[in-house]
Amino acid sequence: MTREKSSQTELLEQLLNERQLLRMVIDSLPDGIYVKDLESRFVVGNEAVAHLIGVDTPDDLIGKTDFDFFDHNLAQRYYDDEQAVIRSGQSLLNREEPTFDARTGTSGWLLTTKVIWHDRQGDIAGIIGIGRNITELKQTREALAQANAELERRVYERTAELSNSKASLERVHEFFRSTLEQLADVVNRGAPKNELMEYVRQAQGQFKRVG
């Protein structure tokens, strides 16, 4: 084997090793990582993407689009976002978007970033995307928001109750003040006992209504 062929073989092995290492890295990440061409067809996808979509291996993604896996409305949303990135050259960063987990049959949420993919000549070849599953985080936020709303409702109701109680106490206080003043006047006038008792009975009836 010539020195030139030996160098080529070593270079090829190095490239294969690097490719294998890169494949191991992206497949070990929990985030979905994918590359799509100008028509939004999958060129590369990792295990997380395959798991979400519901195919056996990442190779099952190649050459297909989201329309092959998701309902039309959701796939159209993904497609429109990707084509906007390709046309404008502007990245889509950290967008919260809905998704559907085919293997669990449940809806969820992704935090998605999509950037331009350039080929060796520097031309736009498609997009590179990363999607992080934030379903549990969204559910936690929603639960916290509901808990805060419930707490605010209870605080409002309790405040209203205390306000009503305060108003009631103020009415009772005013009643006692007025009653004592009138009772003192009856006593000072030297009114007979039966008149005094009648006034007390009337005062008791009024107190029940005030309370």
Closest CA to 31 of 152, 132, 179: 132
pLDDT band at 45 (very low <50, low <70, confident <90, very high): very high
As a whole number, mean pLDDT of residues 95-102 equals 94
Closest CA to 131 of 85, 92, 88: 92
As a whole number, mean pLDDT of residues 35-44 equals 96
As a whole number, mean pLDDT of residues 179-197 equals 63
- Write the secondary structure of 150-206 as one string of H (helix), E (strand) and C (coil): HHHHHHHHHHHHHHHHHHHHHHHHHHHHHHHHHHHHHHHCCCCHHHHHHHHHHHHHH
As a whole number, mean pLDDT of residues 39-51 equals 95
pTM: 0.66
As a whole number, mean pLDDT of residues 96-110 equals 93
